[in-house]
């Protein structure tokens, strides 16, 4: 997140940030268009939130029920393919969110999307 925040301070937009099981709650800077957090609850991982006033989206995807832990989430081929799909979508190659629509691709037990609305508050979809 520090790099995205530094880019934001210089007025540079960031299309996509993907986090793998962050160990501390992070605030996604307002210059980030889309943040996808793949984490394992009940262990080291935690959710992230969008900065107040952000127009980007944040998706917290919990892999606790998929038999993953803090180390295995970063080594799983299925996670690698999912991340490649997000990058491809951010580059304009595939429909955004397509990877999340497929339970076999995500294998997540809980997906929580947050999109800001007026006033910088959030609502769950």
Confidence at residue 104, expressed as pLDDT on a 0 to 100 scale: 38
User: Among candidates 54, 9, 7, 63, which has minimal Cα distance to 28?
Assistant: 54
**CA–CA dist 67, 42 (Å, integer):** 12
Sign of CA dihedral 97, 99, 104, 108: negative
Residue 39 lies in a domain: yes
Residue 98 lies in a domain: yes
Alpha helices in the chain (DSSP H): 2-9, 72-75, 77-90, 98-101, 103-106
Taking CA 64 as the corner, what is the angle to CA 62 and CA 68, rounded to the nearest 5 degrees?
110
Residue 100 lies in a domain: yes
Q: Which domain holds residue 18?
A: 2-113
Confidence at residue 125, expressed as pLDDT on a 0 to 100 scale: 30
Residue 50 lies in a domain: yes
pLDDT of the chain, 125 residues: tens digit per residue: 899 999 999 999 999 999 999 998 789 999 999 999 999 998 889 999 999 989 999 999 999 988 898 999 999 999 999 999 999 999 987 554 444 433 334 444 445 555 444 344 333 33
What is the DSSP pairing of strand 32-39 with strand 27-28? unpaired
State how many domains the chain has.
1
Which residue spans within 9-119 are E strands per DSSP?
Answer: 14-20, 27-28, 32-39, 49-50, 57-62, 110-116
Residue 26 lies in a domain: yes
Residue 125 lies in a domain: no
**CA–CA dist 113, 97 (Å, integer):** 11
């Amino acid at each position: 997140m520090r790099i995205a925040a530094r880019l934001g301070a210089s007025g540079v937009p960031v299309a996509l940030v993907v986090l793998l099981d962050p160990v501390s709650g992070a605030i996604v800077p307002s210059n980030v268009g889309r943040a996808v957090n793949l984490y394992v609850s009940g262990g080291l991982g935690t959710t992230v939130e969008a900065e107040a006033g952000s127009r980007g989206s944040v998706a917290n995807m919990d892999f606790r029920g998929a038999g993953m832990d803090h180390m295995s989430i970063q080594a799983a081929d299925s996670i690698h393919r999912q991340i490649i799909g997000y990058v491809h979508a951010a580059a304009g190659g595939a429909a955004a969110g397509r990877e999340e629509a497929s339970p076999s691709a995500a294998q997540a037990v809980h997906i929580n999307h947050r999109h800001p609305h007026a006033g910088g508050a959030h609502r769950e979809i």
